[in-house]
Amino acid sequence: MHNCKLPHKHTQGRSNHAQSSMQTLLRKNFADSIIFKPDKRNMNLKQQAAKEAVTCIKDKMAVGLGAGATMAYMVQYLQEQNIQVQVYTSSAATREQLLQHGFATGDIAGMACLDIYFDGCDQFDKDLNALKSGGGIHTMEKLLASMAKEFVLVGDESKYAETLSTKYPVVLEVLPQARSFVTMKLVSIYQDITMEYRQNATGAFMLTENGNLLLDVWFTTWPAPAQLNTTLKAITGVVETSLFYNLATKAITAGEAGIKIFTKV
């Protein structure tokens, strides 16, 4: 575990869940996949993935949680563990879930490192690169992912693809003052893109918690993730991108065949 200061400790839970036994070991390109079958009665796939992900959390860890339904299930299962943890989150909705389950969340600004961070995604590839376009909080999510010794993607089996699909955009958080400059730079670099700043129902620009704009960029063909990541982040005015390149260390998915755990080789 990291040598991170834990300003508060919180004990939760009265029961421990036995881990399912591993049955089959698969190897795929740059990732290992471990598959086994959990008890699926009255559980959907997100619940199954969340229940397995919680087994990665150990006593006295500094834990980060992202956003989405799977993270809400993780909060529920984390409460059932008889361990002490300090929890940090990038999501207002997850923070509310944590408070409802008796957890106090720590101040991210007061931490330099986490032991482990969990989040969902739109999709991840064989190298565990991921796209996150939904909530528009990817800058904070990426901060927590970068702070963590281990970053675990959690979701159902539809989230995995050998290569990332162009049906999902890469989302840029952009300084309002750089709105026109960033689009001009993008068009000068890439000829096969469409892009649009997010707006609300009244036509006003949607703003992040940091007061910045969100620009959805769709490619007809994905550039190499390493190249794309470097190019986008080098544009002045781009605060961060929703491409999580070379950050995840593990992915846990649930499907009809059971749980798969992908790890980098």
Q: Which residues are catalytic?
A: 141
Q: How far apart are CA 131 and CA 228, in angstroms?
A: 12
Q: What is the DSSP letter of 242?
A: S
Q: CA-to-CA distance for 93 and 91, rounded, in angstroms?
A: 5
DSSP 3-state helix, strand, coil percentages of the chain (rounded to 5)? Answer: 25, 30, 40
The answer for 255, left when phi > 0, alpha when psi is -120 to 50, beta otherwise, is beta
Burial of residue 12 (CB within 10 Å: 0-12, 13-18, 19+) is middle
State phi, psi for 66 to the nearest 5 degrees: -90, -140
Whole-number Cα distances in Å, 88 to 7, 20, 31, 71, 238 = 12, 27, 28, 12, 25
Instruction: Compute the distance between CA of residue 74 and CA of residue 23 in angstroms, rounded to an integer.
Output: 24
Burial 22-37 (b: 16+ CB within 10 A, else e): eeeeeeeeebbbbbbe
Contacts of 124 (CB under 8 A, 6+ apart): 130, 131, 153, 159, 160, 161, 164, 248, 251, 262
The residue with tokens 């009265």 is: 14
